[in-house]
Amino acid sequence: MTLKQVQAEVKQLVEDLKSVREVQAKLANNSNKNAVSVSAEPTVSAGPTAEVLAELNKNILNIETRVKQLEDRLSQQEQQLDDMEQYGRRNCLILHGCKNVPKGSYWELEPYILNILNTKIKLPLKVEKSDIDIAHTLPSKKGTPIIIKFVRRTIRQEVFNNKRNLAGSGMVITESLTKKRLALVQRCREKCGERSTWTINGNVYVFHENKKKMSPLY
C-alpha cells in the first residue's frame, strides 16, 4: 500500500468513525427519552435495544483499531521517506553568514567557496575543484547561505569536523537537513538551548540533564 493510499484510507475511516459516533449519540439520546416515556406510560416501546448500541460500540472499536494501525503505518512510511531524503543530503553542507557572495553561475561561485574552505577553515588538505560536485545559494532572509555538495563523503566530513575554525568570522557551517529535521532542531533549541543542540550525520542530539541524548524524529 502506497503512502497516498494509506492517507486516503485513514481519511475515509475517520469520516466513517464520525458518522457511526453521530448515529450512536442519536440512538443513545432516543433511548434515554424512550426510557422516560416507558416509566410514565408502560405501553410505549423502549426504543433501540442494548444490542444495537453494543453493535455500534463494536464497530467504533474496529474502526479505531484500524485507524491506529494505518496511522502507525503512515508514520513508518513518512519516516522511511525522510530517511531517504536525508541520505540524499549526506554529502552536503550549508555555509551561512557569507558576505559579498558572487551572483551568477556556479563557476563564479566556485572560487569564492574554495577560498573560504582553504583559508578560513584551515583544513589539513587543500580542497580542489574536483572535490566539489555542485554548489549554489539558497533563498534566505538572513544573508546568503550556500549549499555545497562534495564528491566524496570524506572531504565533506573533514570540512564539518573543522567548522570551529570559522569562529569569529561570522560564518558557520551546518548539515543539510530535511524540513522535518530542521523543525526538530528548532524545537530542541527552544527547549534545551542552542549550545545544547547539535547534529551529526543528520541525527539531532541534545545535552539535557547532563546527558547526551538523541532526539527522536517522531
Residue 217 has pLDDT above 90, yes or no: no
More confident residue, 129 or 211: 129
- pLDDT score of 56: 74
* pLDDT (mean) for 111-115: 95
* pLDDT (mean) for 159-179: 95
- pLDDT score of 39: 47
Q: What is the dihedral of CA 206, 208, 210, 214, to 10 degrees?
A: -40
Per-residue pLDDT reduced to its tens digit, 132-152 = 999 999 988 888 999 999 999
* pLDDT (mean) for 85-104: 93
Distance from C-alpha of 157 to C-alpha of 78, rounded to nearest angstrom: 27
**Domain extents in the chain:** 3-88, 91-176, 177-218
Q: Three-state SS across the chain?
A: CCHHHHHHHHHHHHHHHHHHHHHHHHHHHHHHHHHHHHHHCCCCCCCCCHHHHHHHHHHHHHHHHHHHHHHHHHHHHHHHHHHHHHHHCCCEEEEECCCCCCCCCHHHHHHHHHHHHHHHCCCCCCCCHHHEEEEEECCCCCCCCEEEEECCHHHHHHHHHCHHHHCCCCCEEEECCCHHHHHHHHHHHHHHCHHHEEEECCEEEEEECCEEEECCCC
CATH topology of domain 91-176: Alpha-Beta Plaits (3.30.70)
- pLDDT score of 36: 46
Work out the percent of the chain whose per-residue pLDDT is above 70: 79
